[in-house]
Amino acid sequence: MPRATNNVASRRRRKKILKLAKGFRGGRRTQIRTASDAVDRAGVSAYRDRRRKKRTFRALWITRINAAARLHGTTYSQLICGLTKADVDVNRKVMADLAVNSPEAFKALVETASAA
C-alpha cells in the first residue's frame, strides 16, 4: 500500500502561514520556515502592543490635559484633585478632547476644579 502524505492539509497549512506573511520582505515572505518564525514573532508583537496602545493613549491624553491646564494657570494634578473634590466624573479621553476642540468647556472644568 502506498504511503499517504496528506498533501492537501499540509499545503493548506503552509498557504495559511504565507498568507499571513504577505507584505513581509525577502525570504520572510516566500520561505515557509522563515515566514513561520516571522509570523509568530509578529503575532507576539501584535498581542503585546494591543495592550501597550491603551497605555500610550492615556499618556497622550494626560499630556494634552496638562498643557491645556497650564494655559489656565493650574497643573494637571491640581486639576484632577479639584475635579475629584467637586465630584465631577469626566474621563481623561473626554477631557483631552475638550481641551483640544472646545477650550471654553475645558475652561469651565478648570473653574469648577479651582472652586473646589
Quick one: pLDDT at residue 105? Answer: 95
Q: What percent of the chain has pLDDT over 70?
A: 100
The average pLDDT across 58-85 equals 96
Q: Which domains does the chain have, with CATH numbers?
A: 8-115 (1.10.1900.20)
On the question of pLDDT at 2 being above 90, the answer is no
The radius of gyration of the chain's CA atoms, rounded to the nearest angstrom, is 26
On the question of pLDDT at 4 being above 90, the answer is no
Average pLDDT, the chain: 95
Q: How far is CA 23 from CA 11, 15, 18, 28, 42, in A?
A: 20, 14, 10, 9, 12
What pLDDT, in 10s, does the model give residues 15-70? 999 999 999 999 999 999 999 999 999 999 999 999 999 999 999 999 999 999 99
